[in-house]
Amino acid sequence: MAGKWTISTEISFSSSHCLDSYDGMCSRVHGHNWVLRVYYEFESVDPGGLTVDYYILKAGLERVVLPRFDHIHLNEVAPFDRLSPTSENLAAEIFRICRSELVFEGGKLKEVELWETPKDMVR
């Protein structure tokens, strides 16, 4: 079967931040239980019918994201020591990290979806 396959997994992590140059409650230190979902697109499957093992995808995502952002005050780590740690900026940084450090043969990172709360997300 020819086509494209989109494979996704998610992890969660907790961190605090405060938004620089923001006039509102979020300028104060507060925390989130973030939910991160990544989407990779593949053009083909291997002889066993797989694009990438979900376990490998999730383990890789945990390996590149958790040490950087889990149980951390985001304002104290690069690049957020000089860039406001908004959801948008955090999602862009995670996309950059995954695109360079979480690479799968035949696959391409298509999208990062980051949930700040159960009702609010950016992608």
46 bridge partner residues: none
Q: Would you state the pLDDT for residue 65?
A: 98
pLDDT band at 61 (very low <50, low <70, confident <90, very high): very high
- Angle at alpha carbon of residue 88, lines to 59 and 60, rounded to 5°: 10
Q: Would you state the pLDDT for residue 20?
A: 85
Contact assessment for residue 12 and residue 71, using Cβ atoms and an 8 Å cutoff: no
pLDDT band at 1 (very low <50, low <70, confident <90, very high): very low
The rounded distance, in Å, linking the Cα atoms of 68 and 105 is 24
